[in-house]
Amino acid sequence: MQALKDRILHEGQNLGNGILKVDGFINHQVDAKLMDACGQELARLFSPVKASKVLTAEISGIAPALTTAQHLDIPVVYARKHKPITMPDQVFLTLAPSHTKGRTVELIVSPEYLSKGERVLIIDDFLASGATILGLARLAQTAGAEIVGVGALVEKTFEGGRAALEVLGVPVHSLAAIRRMEGEIIEFAE
């Protein structure tokens, strides 16, 4: 998606170690119009899979998941990283490494909002190693739901996440696939 690629080229910063800072329009401050356009495109790509729910991880995945779900006219559920007191005692929980936090984080979903028979589309801001998305897939599978697709705004192809997701056997789409980040250079895959 050209609008997203343009923003990455003009405002994204390579912080080294595979970290791309996009805080000004995706991760901290969100450009609502850009996110709506991204959600519309992801919804178009995934319309054929007939998802009944979108699943993501807090916090950075919420904006693209929400706009995608809005365009698909389905609910969005996000995995929490801390269990609030409002959540029941029995939850779906898994662990996933966080590249940006530098540690393992919990991903927690209430069984009230993820259940057997649902068709789950996983949407996140980044596809890098695939660890977070595989954690979300484990949550959905534990609930008895079927994963029907995986979408990301930005894919860092050099981290091998797409290959890691092959075990899911579902369509995987990203809107901006980055092949290389070195210094000031951000190079997109074709």
Query: Domains in the chain and their CATH numbers?
Result: 2-188 (3.40.50.2020)
Q: Provide the pLDDT for residue 100.
A: 66
How far apart are alpha carbons 137 and 145 in whole angstroms?
9
| 57-69: pLDDT as tens digits | 998 999 999 999 9
| Burial bucket for residue 60 (CB in 10 Å: 0-12, 13-18, 19+) | buried
Q: Which amino acid appears at position 32 of this protein?
A: A
pTM: 0.95
User: Which alpha helices (DSSP H) does the chain contain, by range?
Assistant: 2-11, 32-46, 62-72, 131-143, 161-164
pLDDT tens sequence across 133-186: 999 999 999 999 999 999 999 999 999 999 999 999 999 999 999 999 998 899
> Cα–Cα distance between 151 and 154 in angstroms, integer?
9
Asked if pLDDT for residue 98 goes beyond 90, the answer is: no
Which range (17-21, 62-66, 96-100) has the least confidence? 96-100
For residue 47, the one-letter residue type is S
Whether a cis peptide bond, with omega within 30° of 0, leads into 59 is yes
Let me know: does 152 contact 123? Beta carbons within 8 Å: yes
What pLDDT shows up at residue 183?
87
- For 155, the token pair is 């894919």
Segments of 11-145 assigned E as strands: 13-16, 19-21, 53-57, 76-79, 92-98, 103-109, 119-127
Residue whose entry in the numeric block shows the structure tokens 């662990």: 95
Question: Closest by alpha carbon to 61, among 106, 111, 123, 7?
Answer: 123
Q: For position 184, what pLDDT does the model report?
A: 87
